[in-house]
Chains A and B, each alone.
Chain A
Amino acid sequence: MITRVAPASWRGALAGLVLCFPVLAWAQEVPVRFGKLDAQEAAQLLARPAPDSAAAEVICDFGQSTIKGGQDGFELRFERTARLLIRRRPGYEHATVRVVLYHDPKNGSREQIQQLKGITYNLTGKELSKDLLRTEAVFSRKLNDRLDEYAFTLPNVREGSILEFTYAIRSPFLFNLQDWQFQQAIPVRWSEYRVQIPSFYRYKEMTRSYWPFAVNTSGAAQYTTTYREKTQDSYGATNASSTDKAYQISTQALTRRWVQQDIPAFRPEPFLTTEHDYLSRVDFELERIQFDPNRDPQFVVSSWAQIEKELLEKEEFGQYLQQNSPLASAAAALRSIPDPAARAAAARQLVLQAVGYSGSASLYARATPKRVLETRQGNAAEINLLLVRLLREAGLEAQPLLLSTRNHGRIQTELPVLSQFNYVAAHVRLPGNQELVLDATDPTLPPELLPENCLNDQGRLLGSAGRWVALAPSAPNLRYTHARLTLEATGTLQGTVRQEYAGYAASEHRQPVAALRQQWQQAHPDWQIEKAEVVATDLTRPVALTLAARLPGAEATAATLYVRPTAQLGLPANPFRHPDRLYPVDMASPQRLEYMVELTLPEGYAATELPAAATLALPNEGGRFVFSVSQPTAQTLAITSRLHLAKTHYSAEEYQALRELYARALAKMAEPIVVQRQ
């Protein structure tokens, strides 16, 4: 969030711009006009086939934003007009529209929704009926301290209804230039956004899209607006009788126009970071305010240095970092630990013990360090900025590391824009060009592992050595099953199963033995567990669940037995179920699935057929499957199976190979060993 510029600072600067120019309208014809649908056009819209048999579609969604002079300042004006077609009943939900508005809880200024209108058109024969949205069907509710939701629903919606709605938002918050999302959960025929920004404001744009833009143009236009301010009497006071003074301002404006056409419905796929990273959209961040080109800008956010400076001045970041905490002396005492990495881990442990994570990712501390330690609860910034501070008290070179969690979305590193981040971790520089990234929100992780949600490409390091730091996973998600089983002549398998969870898999499984036993039992309903034990509660070691277990076979003995030890110990379903893939696969950590089974055959039986060994590999070292069965003695078999996905990102083109690797590996592991009575 960027603080508003005080009006007094630009009032003088504006004087040089007060000139008169004729007002120029938008050059371009608008793609949709509210209330102008006729029966013929409606019939044409209804006659077109629905893309992908969708239940509803957006015919046109059109938005415009500009900046206008207002009372004592400038404001953003946003207008939106949309036309939708409801084809089938499941599409009715799109007749309800929700608009979220921001307000400042401190000074009471708020965004306002205006000129809200809606129409439902129903075509019966050649007759087009119109039902208007009634104001009693508009409801507001408070979402939180800063946000309210306005919801409205259109009347008399049926299959074949065409809906239109339009509204405007006036916003005094110039940082909040409305973003635009082109793609939606239903197909969109035409989505257009236009922005006109007078030269004294500048915004950074972030566009992302997997679909091409039909139009993506910039232009220049003459811009004129009027703003008013109260005149002051000779005592410097304003009063009811004083008249407003109006200024007309003219300058050049930047115009931007984006159009996307015939965009299919957005369908989430498994292994995505957040929908936000894949939906076609454009976002904005206020970059500069400069009323007089000959003077310094009133406001600039354009470099990392600037961002850092501002963050460090902020009460909720830099000042929080400066404040003393009651843990300072305990942290200073850690200086006696000679190994810096061990010392850093000890500082992290101090925070973990003192403060629990509230679950809310945040770049800003909302409470003081003292209060955080009193409540023993904190958001990510409260916890990790405290950690930075304690690392420094412990004599280490620590800096905050800004990052965006996976469900917040990917960073665009070329844009020095603060709203890209939603999380802060701690960075420690160690002697010999080594570094550590620490986080104290998750006590189930060892110090060297960041929470999986933080593994999102890169983070931005603050301080004099500001730069990007790679956030690669430093451990895989490893599930390792080691079983020593005896096969009986009935087909019963019996023995010990050691189920290990290492790396990120360990963190999910740091649970009491009863819970782990229950999970395993649920995943392996046919096994009977006689005993369960968990060793190692030490975070540096894997979680190992050791079971004495039995898989009952038939009641009678059989001359021929077919055993599939790996499959019987539980194979996952192919995680890449769907044959098609549009977006890249993005996983937080590399996946590893390993089995090692030592099988003792029943007395008087011998293995007559063994599955052939196999090795499969993905191109470019992307992953590998290795399977083998060996026979160390006549009476024993050793089965080894390892499935590794080495990368965390696979392109949509690589998807087929990835799916195939899994499919063939699963089939291989399910192949039986034939054991026959001799």
Chain B
Amino acid sequence: MRTYLFPFVAGCAAWLSVAAGPARAAYGPAPKYAVAALPGALRENAHAVVRRHEETLLVKSVSRTVETVRRAVTVLDEAGARWATELVYYSQLNSISYFRGSVYDAEGRLLRQLRPADIHDISLSDGFSLASDARGRVADLSQPSYPYTVEFEYEVVSDNPLFYSTWRPQPVEQLSVEQASFRVLMPTGLALRYQELHLPAGAAQARHTQGSQEVYEWQVHDLAAREEEPDGPSVADVTPAVLTAPTQFEVEGHAGQLSSWADLSRWTYELNAGRDALPPALQARMAALVQGETDERARIRKVYEFLQTTTRYVSIQLGLGGWQTFPAASVAANGYGDCKALTNYCKALLGAAGITAHAALVRAGSDEQDIRTDFPSSQFNHVVLCVPLVKSARPDTVWLECTSQSNPFGYMGGFTGNRHALLLLPQGGRLIATPRYGATENRRERLADVYLDAQGNATATLRTLRTGLEYDAVATLPSLDLPEQKKHISSRLPLPNFTLTKVALRPTPPGAAVPGLTESLSLTLPALAPPSGKRVFLTPNLLSRLSAPAASVGERQTDLWLDHALTQTDTVRLHVPASLRPEQLPAPVQLSTQFGTYSSQLQTLPDGTIQYIRRLQLPRTRFARTDYPAYLEFRRKISAADKAQLVLLKTDA
């Protein structure tokens, strides 16, 4: 605090000199957070400014922590108004000891304080869970005019010290930070583990002892607002943060160490151990199911198919149940369970079939970054099953997603692929990589036949194969009924004017390295290329136009993250009436860069058909920010080539 006392006081003084006048009463609380005191640099590009953010984690014991937060935010405009609302989470294992709030006007005068009646208690159930104890208290201090400052203070006592705080004072774009601090108070004899990320110099304070407590402290100040950039890390990935984690903890009597991934693996394994007993009849059924099947993969597949046809996912998240599985016998009886229960059950089924499998913790989500592999801590939200193939010549693994009734065998996809998972083993497991899906796996291959008539109306057939992560976007299509399929496909086709007349979907037969779906469509395209005088114009790249990223204002700040690898191949055959012949064919384009390769080409076939072939390959790579202009150039050239236009001349005109 010492460091920031000066500017803070100076700010108040400045305000006093501006606003002091006869109208102001000589009593009442001193103004706080006057907006005039804000340095201009913090207002730039910001919708809100964190004036003061003080977070304290008090570790009372291995089994209890107390988190205290006080955060004052000046809301500058409507887009910053989300900061005027605070939500404090609680559940069976986390309780709120207090929750207070105040709001100040632009001059820093107190407008009002939260009353208990202003705080609403809400269920935070995700809407699909059958049961969840997640609840929140929420308060809204938003005001009709800007700027104003809200201040929230709350304390949460947690009996789940598996999770310590993560301090991230600048989590999103267009938010600046005047000052923020984080303190962790540890009881003597209990060590804190922490990881500092992107901290400016001088942020970490000297560790000191205060009574019987060891105090760790970090401070940052004057962090200018950031802007999210396309194809780059999120703001939370580049701003200061301190992650903390326990070395020892105890949740509802389950004690654990946590200094390595092996420790976390062992504790989680033990918490869930002994819950895999199956009814004898079911055990016998599994043994019979795989009897005579010698191929290791085929044996696993049979059990997985049994799981998929006889169970479904139902989320129940109550207390320790968030981490501990329901017994396998309960899934056997009810035919449903959450991710832990279904994974545990599948593991038990495989066991009964003589196959060893391990549960593996993962941070799932197609938008989620991988866990921080260099900081062992509880960073996971999902569990999958990892089945090592023992008979395979080289190390090989089958990964099973046990919560889906339609997920292709062995496929992790964008939800759990391309990241790390923690194997749960009695002796303590390690992190291993889940399957990688790169440009070879993520393919979109399209063949289009377009039949144009002399009036410019067209019909077309499209056949599109999507595999790997490209498949993810269409994975649920076959499960929809036909009218819904049409609706989904129609809203995705980037055509101005069409009617979908036929839809057929064919999944790639099982056994392929990655799953795929072939979509065959018939369309009518009225006025696709109406004659204009004696010419007809048509962009042969009907469906795969890739536009360049929007030009950014100012210099690129963050590195270039090209995480979504893909290969696109398009063949378009234009069947035109004999009365039309091409006046000019756009020149072929060939681009080969470190960011990827692109080619497009048009040619007239002997039968008069005009054939367009386009190929784009983007690998999964990352580059320094200085490479961004070259990347932009690459994308602009693709965008220009994708729009190239074919001109047909009427020979009978």
**Do the beta carbons of A90 and B479 come within 8 Å of each other?**
yes
Point out the residues of chain B lying under 8 angstroms from A153, CB to CB: 130, 314, 336
User: Considering the complex, which residues of chain B in the window 606-649 have a beta carbon less than 8 Å from any beta carbon of chain A?
Assistant: 639-640, 643, 645, 647
Least CB distance, B142 to chain A, in whole angstroms: 6
**Do the beta carbons of A90 and B118 come within 8 Å of each other?**
no
Complex: A554 Cα to B112 Cα, angstroms: 61
Least CB distance, A201 to chain B, in whole angstroms: 34
Least CB distance, B345 to chain A, in whole angstroms: 13
B143 at the interface (CB under 8 A from A): yes
Least CB distance, A160 to chain B, in whole angstroms: 10
For A669, the closest partner residue in chain B by CB is B496
A571 at the interface (CB under 8 A from B): yes
Given contacts A143-B123, A664-B527, whether A526 and B144 have CB atoms under 8 Å apart is no
**Do the beta carbons of B144 and A96 come within 8 Å of each other?**
no
Complex: A41 Cα to B527 Cα, angstroms: 53
Point out the residues of chain B lying under 8 angstroms from A374, CB to CB: 112
B209 at the interface (CB under 8 A from A): no
User: Considering the complex, which residues of chain A in the window 633-649 have a beta carbon less than 8 Å from any beta carbon of chain B?
Assistant: none
Among candidates A88, A137, A142, A562, residue contacting B479 with C-beta atoms closer than 8 Å:
A88
**Do the beta carbons of A376 and B111 come within 8 Å of each other?**
yes
Complex: A521 Cα to B230 Cα, angstroms: 13
Least CB distance, A105 to chain B, in whole angstroms: 12
Among candidates B335, B406, B481, B534, residue contacting A158 with C-beta atoms closer than 8 Å:
B335
Interface flags, B308-325, vs A, CB<8A=1, else 0: 011010101000000000
Least CB distance, B546 to chain A, in whole angstroms: 10
**Do the beta carbons of B551 and A529 come within 8 Å of each other?**
yes
Complex: A379 Cα to B91 Cα, angstroms: 29
User: Considering the complex, which residues of chain B in the window 71-100 have a beta carbon less than 8 Å from any beta carbon of chain A?
Assistant: 77, 79
Among candidates B336, B483, B527, residue contacting A155 with C-beta atoms closer than 8 Å:
B336
Complex: A421 Cα to B133 Cα, angstroms: 34
Least CB distance, B135 to chain A, in whole angstroms: 8
Q: Which of B154-162, B358-366, B484-492, B565-573 is found at the contact surface with chain A?
A: B484-492
Considering only CB atoms and an 8 Å cut-off, how many residues of chain A contact the other chain? 70
A239 at the interface (CB under 8 A from B): no
Interface flags, A142-178, vs B, CB<8A=1, else 0: 1110000001110111110000000000000000000
Complex: A375 Cα to B623 Cα, angstroms: 50
Among candidates A142, A377, A521, residue contacting B550 with C-beta atoms closer than 8 Å:
A521
Q: Which of A11-19, A293-301, A326-334, A573-581 is found at the contact surface with chain B?
A: A573-581
Point out the residues of chain A lying under 8 angstroms from B121, CB to CB: 142
Least CB distance, A451 to chain B, in whole angstroms: 15
User: Considering the complex, which residues of chain B in the window 499-515 have a beta carbon less than 8 Å from any beta carbon of chain A?
Assistant: 499-500
Given contacts A356-B142, A562-B537, A667-B527, whether A526 and B639 have CB atoms under 8 Å apart is yes
For A520, the closest partner residue in chain B by CB is B550
Complex: A670 Cα to B527 Cα, angstroms: 10
Number of A-B contacts (CB under 8 A): 146
A593 at the interface (CB under 8 A from B): no
Among candidates A141, A143, A515, A667, residue contacting B530 with C-beta atoms closer than 8 Å:
A667
A436 at the interface (CB under 8 A from B): no
Interface flags, B540-581, vs A, CB<8A=1, else 0: 000000011111000000000000000000000000000000
User: Considering the complex, which residues of chain B in the window 287-332 have a beta carbon less than 8 Å from any beta carbon of chain A?
Assistant: 309-310, 312, 314, 316
Point out the residues of chain A lying under 8 angstroms from B132, CB to CB: 141
Point out the residues of chain B lying under 8 angstroms from A671, CB to CB: 530, 532
**Do the beta carbons of A89 and B479 come within 8 Å of each other?**
yes
**Do the beta carbons of B481 and A54 come within 8 Å of each other?**
yes
Point out the residues of chain B lying under 8 angstroms from A9, CB to CB: none
B463 at the interface (CB under 8 A from A): no
B599 at the interface (CB under 8 A from A): no
Given contacts A156-B335, A512-B77, A528-B551, whether A667 and B497 have CB atoms under 8 Å apart is yes
Least CB distance, B194 to chain A, in whole angstroms: 36
Given contacts A354-B144, A521-B551, A522-B550, whether A53 and B482 have CB atoms under 8 Å apart is yes
Considering only CB atoms and an 8 Å cut-off, how many residues of chain B contact the other chain? 63
Complex: A54 Cα to B490 Cα, angstroms: 19
Least CB distance, B614 to chain A, in whole angstroms: 18
For B144, the closest partner residue in chain A by CB is A356
Least CB distance, B258 to chain A, in whole angstroms: 32
Least CB distance, A383 to chain B, in whole angstroms: 10
**Do the beta carbons of A674 and B309 come within 8 Å of each other?**
no
Interface flags, A560-595, vs B, CB<8A=1, else 0: 101000000001011001110000000000000000
Complex: A495 Cα to B420 Cα, angstroms: 51
**Do the beta carbons of A577 and B490 come within 8 Å of each other?**
yes
Least CB distance, A46 to chain B, in whole angstroms: 16
**Do the beta carbons of A376 and B144 come within 8 Å of each other?**
yes
Interface flags, A106-145, vs B, CB<8A=1, else 0: 0000000000000000000000000100100101011110
For B490, the closest partner residue in chain A by CB is A577
**Do the beta carbons of A515 and B79 come within 8 Å of each other?**
yes
Point out the residues of chain A lying under 8 angstroms from B526, CB to CB: 663, 667
**Do the beta carbons of B334 and A137 come within 8 Å of each other?**
yes
Least CB distance, A253 to chain B, in whole angstroms: 39
Least CB distance, B470 to chain A, in whole angstroms: 21
A234 at the interface (CB under 8 A from B): no
**Do the beta carbons of A666 and B533 come within 8 Å of each other?**
no
**Do the beta carbons of A90 and B333 come within 8 Å of each other?**
no
Given contacts A92-B312, A157-B336, A562-B645, whether A52 and B535 have CB atoms under 8 Å apart is no
Complex: A584 Cα to B535 Cα, angstroms: 40
Point out the residues of chain B lying under 8 angstroms from A529, CB to CB: 551
Point out the residues of chain A lying under 8 angstroms from B550, CB to CB: 518, 521-522, 525
Point out the residues of chain A lying under 8 angstroms from B131, CB to CB: 139, 141, 151
Least CB distance, B534 to chain A, in whole angstroms: 8
A353 at the interface (CB under 8 A from B): yes
For B103, the closest partner residue in chain A by CB is A376
**Do the beta carbons of A377 and B537 come within 8 Å of each other?**
no
**Do the beta carbons of B123 and A155 come within 8 Å of each other?**
no
**Do the beta carbons of A155 and B130 come within 8 Å of each other?**
no
A318 at the interface (CB under 8 A from B): no
Point out the residues of chain A lying under 8 angstroms from B123, CB to CB: 141-143
Complex: A375 Cα to B131 Cα, angstroms: 35
B145 at the interface (CB under 8 A from A): yes
B405 at the interface (CB under 8 A from A): yes
Point out the residues of chain B lying under 8 angstroms from A265, CB to CB: 481
Point out the residues of chain B lying under 8 angstroms from A137, CB to CB: 130, 334
A395 at the interface (CB under 8 A from B): no
B125 at the interface (CB under 8 A from A): yes
**Do the beta carbons of A376 and B497 come within 8 Å of each other?**
no
A322 at the interface (CB under 8 A from B): no
B480 at the interface (CB under 8 A from A): yes
Most buried by A among B142, B532, B548, B640: B532
Complex: A370 Cα to B75 Cα, angstroms: 24
Among candidates B112, B310, B532, B639, residue contacting A672 with C-beta atoms closer than 8 Å:
B532
B140 at the interface (CB under 8 A from A): yes
A69 at the interface (CB under 8 A from B): no
Complex: A251 Cα to B125 Cα, angstroms: 47
Least CB distance, A523 to chain B, in whole angstroms: 10
Complex: A631 Cα to B437 Cα, angstroms: 56
**Do the beta carbons of B309 and A158 come within 8 Å of each other?**
yes
**Do the beta carbons of A157 and B335 come within 8 Å of each other?**
yes
Closest 9 CB pairs of A and B: A356-B144, A667-B527, A139-B131, A156-B335, A609-B533, A525-B547, A89-B405, A90-B479, A155-B334
- Sample (18) of A-B pairs whose CB atoms are under 8 Å apart: A52-B482, A53-B481, A55-B479, A141-B123, A155-B333, A352-B144, A353-B144, A355-B144, A356-B142, A375-B112, A525-B547, A525-B548, A552-B640, A578-B487, A667-B526, A671-B530, A671-B532, A674-B533
- In the complex, besides A142-B121, A356-B143, A526-B639, 7 extra interface pairs with C-beta distance below 8 angstroms are A52-B483, A93-B128, A141-B123, A158-B309, A267-B484, A352-B144, A353-B145
Chain A positions within 8 Å of B, measured between CB atoms, are 52-55, 88-90, 92-93, 95-96, 131, 134, 137, 139, 141-144, 151-153, 155-159, 265, 267, 352-356, 358, 374-377, 443, 512, 515, 518, 521-522, 525-526, 528-529, 552, 554, 560, 562, 571, 573-574, 577-579, 608-609, 611, 663-664, 666-667, 670-672, 674
